[in-house]
Every structure is written in structure tokens, then in C-alpha cells.
Amino acid sequence: MDRIDEMRVFARVAETRSFKRAAGDLGLPRSTVTEAVKRLEARLGVRLLDRTTRVVVPTLDGEVFHRRCLLIIAEVEDAEAAFRGGRPEGRLHVNMHGTVANRLILPRLADFLERYPRIELTLSDSDRLVDLLREGVDCAIRAGVPADSDLIVRRLGSFAEITCASPDYLARHGQPESVEELHGHVMIGFFSTATHALLPLEFVVDGLIVEKRLPTAVTVTGGATLVQAGRLGFGLFQAPRYHLESDLAAGRLVEVLPETPPSPTPVSALYPRDRQLSPRLRVWLDWLQGIEFR
């Protein structure tokens, strides 16, 4: 194992906070990973990792060296790619909401894989904003306004949002014709795991955002559960239009207050600030720009 390989091993241990997980990610025996880090520390003459029985944490020197390793590894990958004719290759881990994957990414993914057959793509599904470095994620696709300043954000587009309810709910509560007529209605509560708060309904009225907090009988934390609760008539709710198109066409849901929709939700690709773009991540981000997120 050469010095670059040792840097890759150390970087993976630092990111996963685990020798076992790093070994699994790299396809190496755990003993090989442990020995590689020991050799690196011995050669540098500093302790890079604090080890306990439960977790592995980079020391201050380890944090500094980790950032340098990422820069060096990225430079090596760029140089090698240039002499291989610029064909990106290797593992690329992308995290996104399952609905985004199913509706927007997977139907178009054959095009990306045909263009870049040497890239090994892993798609993971999560509503929460994962710790990209610790969990070995190269890029996350998220809706909303990211608050994490340690990530670089590349805007991809925006999702048009609508207000909906089931025909059964509207038969029981009536169809509101304006935001002022929402008195007596109930909403399906959506508790955001990002903000740790119950989100209000939002309407754009004469160019201004108006928030309404209605009574709730049911509160959920996931997008799929929100839509299913809406189908079953538990209240008004808001979600991206693309997510609801089949339900609207089949009559399972009805759009409410179409003249005052919620403001669009931005969609972005996020990746670590301290990690230079590898060739495979660069082409992935460029490919995403060709998808219409709306």
C-alpha cells in the first residue's frame, strides 16, 4: 500500500469514525486498515486519531491532515483521469429523497450510466440531511433552503408546490375559495426533522407569503405518509406538484386554492466544502443540471 492509498484509508476512517465501517467501504480487511493508519502515524510522528471502545475521532492534527489528504487525493484523481482520456471512474455515493429518485432520477439514469460506464453509482434514500463526510456520501440532493454552511450548494431548480385534499374531506368541510375561508378546516401536520418544528400552510397572496396554522388531528414526519394521510381525508396539506400528479389525474386528490399556491421550493445539490470536485462528482453535477426539477 503506497502513501496515497494510506491517505485514502485514513480519510475514510476519519469520515466514518470507524475502522470497521471504513474497511467495509474500501473492501479491505479491518487489520489492513488499522495497520495502514498506524504506519501513517508513525511516519508523521503525530497521533491522528483518538480511539475509544465506542468511537474513533480525529485529533486536531488529524482534522488538519484529513483536509490536506482530501485535496491531495482529488488532485491525484484529476491527474489520472486526464491521462486516461478524462473518463471518470470509481464509486459515487448520492443521497436523496426516495420520491425524487423514483420520479426524476431513475427514469433518466440509463443516460448517465451509458455516458460514464466506469462510475459505480450508489443511491441512498433519506429524508434527513445526512452527515456527508461521516457517512461517505459524495453528494446530497435536497429540497428547501440548506442551513449548513460547511456544504457547497449548487441550485438545480425548484419544485412547484400545491395545496390538496381528498374529495371526501372537501365533501365534509367544503371547498374554500380564499385563504380567509380556511376557518373551520384542519390540516395534516408536517413536523420537519430539519427545523424540528411543525410547518404551517403557506400561500402567496398578492405577492406576499401568508402562513396559516390550522388545527391538526394527524401529524407526520415523512412525505409519503403525508400524501397517504391526505388521500384518506385527514386534512389539507401541501406538497410538490410532481409528487401528486397521478393522484390528481385519478381524482384521489383535488387541488385547493390554485390562485394562491405556496411559494416554490428550491432544489439543490450539496457537497462538502473541504472536498474538491472529483471527476465523477463533477460530471454527476453537470448531468443533474440537464434535469428539469419542477
Q: Enter the CATH code of domain 3-83.
A: 1.10.10.10
The C-alpha atoms of residue 103 and residue 12 are separated, in whole angstroms, by 32
Residue 90 pLDDT > 60, yes or no? yes
Q: Enter the CATH code of domain 161-263.
A: 3.40.190.10
Q: What is the CA radius of gyration of the chain?
A: 23
Q: Is the distance from CB of 127 to CB of 101 less than 8 angstroms? A: no
Tens digits of per-residue pLDDT, 230-274? 999 999 999 999 889 999 999 999 999 999 999 998 999 988 776
**CATH number 3.40.190.10 given to 90-157+266-288:** yes
- The angle formed by the CA atoms of residues 100, 244 and 255, to the nearest 5 degrees, is 145
0.85 exceeded by pTM: no
The C-alpha atoms of residue 267 and residue 293 are separated, in whole angstroms, by 7
Half-sphere exposure of 20 (CA within 13 A, CB side): 3
For 111, the enclosing helix (H) or strand (E) is helix 109-115
Tens digits of per-residue pLDDT, 91-127? 788 998 888 888 889 999 999 999 999 888 889 887 6
Q: Is the distance from CB of 285 to CB of 154 less than 8 angstroms? A: yes
Ordered by start, the domain boundaries in the chain are 3-83, 90-157+266-288, 161-263
Tens digits of per-residue pLDDT, 12-41? 999 888 899 899 888 899 999 999 999 999
The C-alpha atoms of residue 134 and residue 136 are separated, in whole angstroms, by 6
C-alpha cell at 174: 367544503
Please determine whether the domains at 3-83 and 90-157+266-288 fall in the same fold group of CATH: no
Phi and psi torsions of 238, nearest 5°: -125, 140
